[in-house]
A and B are shown apart, each in its own frame.
Chain A
Amino acid sequence: MDNAAHTPLAARGPARMMAHLWMILGVIIVAFPIYYVVIASTHSTQTILRPPLPLLPGPEAFQNYDEAFSGGIGRIGGVSLWRLLGNTTLIAMGIALGKIAISMASAYAIVFFRFPLRMACFWLIFITLMLPVEVRIQPTYKVMVDLGLIDTYAGLILPLIASATATLLFRQFFMTIPDELLEAARVDGAGPWRFFKDILWPLSLTNVAAIFVIQFIYGWTQYLWPLLVTNSNEMNTIVIALKKMISFADADTPWNLVMVTSVLAILPPILVVVVMQRWFVKGLVETEK
């Protein structure tokens, strides 16, 4: 009975077994391609090119990773692996934090205040979901040039923090906050800042955590935008470096290094996810009121 009290949705006995089974199946389907990349990164280019790929790690693991770190990746594009990872991390963090900050602010304004053009603003922001980067890329580039943002971190981050997904999510969430909570706070004499800090923020943590993960990864996996907006190799992200190494066209693709770089490109976002897991739980505990 105690188990049920902690997690009311938890099942018992056979139902739980089934749940495990489904999860394992889900995980296999969902995580297999990544397992594949990890395995591929431990084999030689020849083995990779002569499929089907064996399903177990190969003997070239140490070799490949050593080559990658000691400059194999740096050879192509003249930028060290650390620099690439650093750039990508900076961009991803910038985008994630920036997005959370401004979308929470906007959603807060739209939900908890009344002012003329309120809904118009919401729609104005919301419509930006409708036109993806690839489509408005040329004119956006011109704006970047005019503002002098080429080859800057600001240029890489700013245009990407304006998207509306986070605002929409926070708006949805804020709308589920019971009226009584706000009334009670106002009766207590709390202003907007205190209400946010003491009541809204703690309640929002699960969503903030989720958005952080999503946006960090979104920033991490950007390709077309950084490619266009930076001319200096020093500003490359790891995804660009990856594409640079793959040559479906004519020359030698060092597939083993490609796989290693893919693993390295995937690892940090996964780490972020793992770390943020605890926030989920934490947020959970704090909603106990």
Chain B
Amino acid sequence: MKIVNLWAVGMALLPFAAQAQTEISWWHAMTGANSEVVDKIASDFNASQTEYVVKPVFKGTYPETLNAGIAAFRAGQAPDIIQVFDVGTGVMMGAQGAIKPVAEVLSDAGFTFDKSAYLPGIVGYYSSPEGEMLSFPYNSSSPILYYNKDIFEKAGLDVNAPPKTWAEVWAAARQIKSSGAATCGYTSTWLTWIHTENFAAWNNVSWASNENGLAGTPELAIDGPLFVKHFQELADLGKEGVFVYGGRTSEAKQNFTSGECGILTESSGGLGDIVKSGINYGIGQLPYDETAEGAPQNTTPGGASLWVMGGKSDEVYKGVGTFFNYLSQTPVQQFLHEQSGYLPVTTAAYEATKASGFYDTNPAREVPILQMSGKTPTENSKGVRAPNLPQLRDIQNEEYEKMLAGEQTAEQALKAAAERGNAAIKEASGG
């Protein structure tokens, strides 16, 4: 235990270390390889200049990190930068006294903030209704389709033609199962993010009123006919054993990497694990509903962004601005994009990656970007926002699970989800 004593002494001496630089704390929820990326970016930034030191701290999962941030804020000790997931955007935006908009931070620090340099599909989501960028997009991803080429071959499907529409997916999945190529035709992660929110955007139907909540308090429209049709088809496939439910978040990915299922819809960020599993995989765009007018439109980002907390000193804000400016540099964005599977935030980074031939060797990586920036977003496809999005997703997941267990039809499930959701929104908006 002598080592322990040394540590205790060391810890006690730590505060006396020389502090010539301004420290900037960065609370994040990145795990695994992404956590390494965070550390590398921070250390590279620290090495590139001598005025500021960014200190990344892992604070748990996304909800844990958000809670830590809130608890810290209430105790008067908020971090400088905090990574908040997409569903927490509504919470952060509602906390006007607690945060400082990124656009302000950047321009106050003397950097010319050019919004057009950033990919519109991503930045629009993290901006206020007036168009001011509130948080800095850090890791964004888009849902895409993965398929098992070996299973496709065994089932007699064209190995180079992934299904493009949902009807094609259902047919392919059924064929996989009936031909015995695999026990499961199709599985999916994130029924809420992919099949509800992105389904709305990609097929240009309304998720809720007021531009899906971006322009005001939303009233859910997820019990619309297109949704009902889609989910009933999913339920039917489930009953046939063709669709296998994997869980509320990304657990279903393992159904695919284990070789059990032939088709998977999941975030583009899941690529790393799929590559590691050794499956002979192929990539396709997120399927769309061919009966929907204007489909495919564009997908909306998932992931997280970096928020700056309010009430800090000017020195700190200058440091944060410098850091964000550093983050926007093309080489850094390129590194982030190519290493982690998340999308590049600036157009320049995207162009640079394209020019380097990265997408020629990794065509899969371009798919999510093209999906997000293909068309100008409509009022249905800028993303969704609600003061209590985590709760809404919980409600939806509960109803979907009941539906898949055979306890209710898709129509009943979606109606219940919409009703309960709207009641919750009213509560949360102080109504």
Contacts and interface: CB of A to CB of B under 8 A. Distances in A.
A78 interface: yes
Contacts of A77: 35, 39, 58
Interface stretch (B111-119, B246-254, B330-338): B246-254
A150 interface: yes
Interface string B270-281: 101100111000
Contacts of B68: 227-228
A49 B270 CA distance: 14
Interface string B307-342: 000000000000000000000000000000000111
Interface stretch (B74-82, B145-153, B352-360): B74-82
Interface stretch (A23-31, A123-131, A136-144, A167-175): A136-144
B273 A252 contact: yes
Interface in B35-81: 35-36, 39, 57-62, 64, 67-68, 70-72, 74-77, 79
Interface string A67-100: 0000000011110001100110110000000000
A253 B58 contact: no
Contacts of A252: 32-33, 272-273, 276
A219 to B, nearest CB: 14
Interface stretch (A196-204, A206-214, A241-249): A241-249
B33 to A, nearest CB: 4
Interface stretch (B4-12, B200-208, B235-243): B4-12
Interface in A117-163: 137-138, 141-142, 144-146, 150, 152-153
B285 interface: no
A231 B72 CA distance: 11
A51 interface: yes
Interface stretch (A6-14, A102-110, A181-189, A232-240): A232-240
Given A49-B258, A50-B257, A249-B31, A145 B60 contact: no
B25 interface: yes
A46 interface: yes
B75 A49 contact: no
Contacts of A75: 36
Contact of A83 (B7, B74, B258): B7
Interface string B1-23: 00110011001001000000000
Contact of A254 (B32, B71, B72, B76): B32
The main secondary structure of chain B at its interface with chain A is: helix
Contacts of A165: none
Contacts of B272: 250-252
Given A49-B276, A49-B277, A233-B58, A86 B4 contact: yes
B269 interface: yes
Contact of A247 (B32, B60, B251): B32
A45 interface: yes
A248 B34 contact: no
A51 B76 CA distance: 48
Contact of A141 (B3, B11, B14, B75): B75
B259 to A, nearest CB: 6
A253 B75 contact: no
A250 B269 contact: yes
B277 A76 contact: no
B3 A227 contact: no
Interface in A14-64: 45-46, 49-51
B408 to A, nearest CB: 28
B339 to A, nearest CB: 10
Contacts of B34: 247, 250-251
Contact of B141 (A228, A235, A250): A250
B300 interface: no
Contacts of B72: 141, 145
B278 A46 contact: yes
Contacts of A254: 32-33
5 contacts: A50-B259, A83-B7, A86-B4, A233-B57, A251-B33
Closest 6 CB pairs of A and B: A250-B269, A247-B32, A247-B31, A145-B75, A252-B272, A142-B75
Given A227-B64, A250-B273, 13 more contacts: A51-B258, A87-B7, A142-B71, A231-B25, A240-B58, A247-B31, A250-B141, A250-B342, A251-B31, A251-B32, A251-B34, A251-B340, A253-B31
